[in-house]
Chain A
């Protein structure tokens, strides 16, 4: 019984990490109206940057966020400014293919630089476990994930509602033409939006590295998780993303427990495909 409680709790807490993975994709999709197929690979770039800092100067992964987060903001900004902004206006197909090519290029470059081996950022504190009540044991990093998710959501909420850039992003996601008439430089705002999405991805990447292992080919897996989160939670709503993250986290942990660890992703993928087939815009999503 207490084992079941632990697993459920772990699923809930892992949901925090998954909502961080999803929120970046959700922001980018809300504004840019296209799915950045390179989201997962850019997230892993965050993990590798943190790994480089850990191996190079022995920086703690959580501390490395002060470098990794701005670096990914830069990558996101540049990608949008010089690549996606050029093709976004030409229908669904060109941006999709350019994003797919970006994803594959990043994957192969990581493969060449870091080889295909499994890596992890796990440090001595991240592998500790915490016994909350007698019999209910949860890894410390899962709690960190959940706290990080709560802080990120609060910060994003403040950013989107209180700052000029945030308000401009929201305006552009409602109607970019009207926003442009109000004097918003939409090209710049689109680039900032992908930059902010990549900041969330950087946080996700470091936490993923601390929670489990990663390798260059894992990008699509996190793209699918991010996509599952926003599809189950609904596109463009923060509460929905949080709920979606928790549902995906629970589904994964419980199916690993009750079916087989090999099939844990399989089950959550099937759930997404079913949701997609029934309602392509998500469960709670606004139309």
Chain B
């Protein structure tokens, strides 16, 4: 397996810009980049589960919330643990993964619409549970005082490391034996299983990986936010809309798609920060317009354009002898 050289240059440039960012940009831009990295990871994970593996899940925010709550519970002295932050984040992600594993058998029995509604119910069950659980202070929320002194640049580098790991692992998963299996089951599960793909195992890998990474994202996100409550952490519109619209806008079932999509979402969520409702309406309209008229998203359009330019000989000029 090789990575094309033409791809390597932009990748190196982007990583170099991001690595040096805290040294030259002001804190607000570092914060935006931090958000972009986290949103991008979440959208990538939704794309893996909902796009590539064909499991249109609306419950990914559950794993995000688990990551955040684990951070609160395991780092605060009040709960009796007082562990270091990185350890709490790893525990949170592992708990997300375990929860996903426990759910895998019942939830994979559901298909298509039933799966999506099943995940909505799951999300509401978890939210209701945390809303009524006195141990996590119900809907009053928890002030995560243990993380208030962490500098943003540390969190930014952690998010950057996570994002790089995520993107490369998705690249490697998709170009491995399992990657072809993933695409095969999304197209036709029965046909795929007759040619030797185990749909359950392939879906399980995507589902668990997404739960684990989204759990880490939750930990990092709330390490910056410093306050968590169930109605925000397990909020279906805020998180699922973000993941789905970023993926749809950029281009579903592509690796570049969620990165491009997340840029737009971060941009107008910040731009409309005081009007969250308006930005959620825009995201809804984006999903509709993209699905109705441009199913490939930005990446799909770009690919079509380069195809056309290639035919005209503009992008890659073949060598001509006179």
Contacts and interface: CB of A to CB of B under 8 A. Distances in A.
Interface of A: 34-35, 37, 83, 86-87, 90, 92-94, 96-98, 100-102, 104-105, 107-109, 111-112, 220-221, 223-224, 227, 260, 262-263, 265-266, 269-270, 272-274, 276-277, 280
B237 A104 contact: yes
A83 B295 CA distance: 15
24 contacts: A35-B114, A87-B292, A92-B112, A92-B113, A93-B56, A96-B113, A97-B56, A97-B291, A100-B287, A101-B287, A101-B288, A104-B283, A104-B284, A108-B237, A108-B277, A108-B281, A262-B131, A263-B128, A265-B124, A269-B128, A277-B109, A277-B110, A280-B109, A280-B111
Nearest to B293: A86
A276 B114 contact: yes
A184 to B, nearest CB: 24
A273 B288 contact: no
A97 B110 contact: no
Contacts of A223: 117, 120
Nearest to A29: B113
A276 to B, nearest CB: 5
A275 to B, nearest CB: 10
B109 A107 contact: no
B189 to A, nearest CB: 12
A105 B114 contact: no
Nearest to B235: A217
A61 B116 CA distance: 34
Contacts of B193: none
For the residues of A in contact with B, the DSSP-based class is helix
Contact of A87 (B124, B132, B277, B291): B291
B118 A276 contact: yes
B255 interface: no
Nearest to B58: A100
A280 B117 CA distance: 11
A224 B121 contact: yes
B106 interface: yes
B125 A273 contact: yes
B285 A105 contact: yes
Contacts of B287: 97-98, 100-101
Contacts of B240: 100
A262 B58 CA distance: 23
B285 A101 contact: yes
Closest 6 interchain pairs by CB?
A277-B106, A101-B287, A105-B284, A262-B132, A101-B284, A92-B112
Contacts of B121: 224, 227, 269, 272-273, 276
Contact of A224 (B114, B124, B131): B124
Contacts of B281: 104-105, 108-109
B76 to A, nearest CB: 24
A1 B287 CA distance: 53
B259 interface: no
Nearest to B131: A262
Given A93-B56, A105-B285, A100 B117 contact: no
Contacts of B118: 273, 276
The CB with the most chain B CB atoms within 10 A, among A83, A101, A262, A265, is that of: A101
A108 B295 contact: no
A181 B280 CA distance: 42
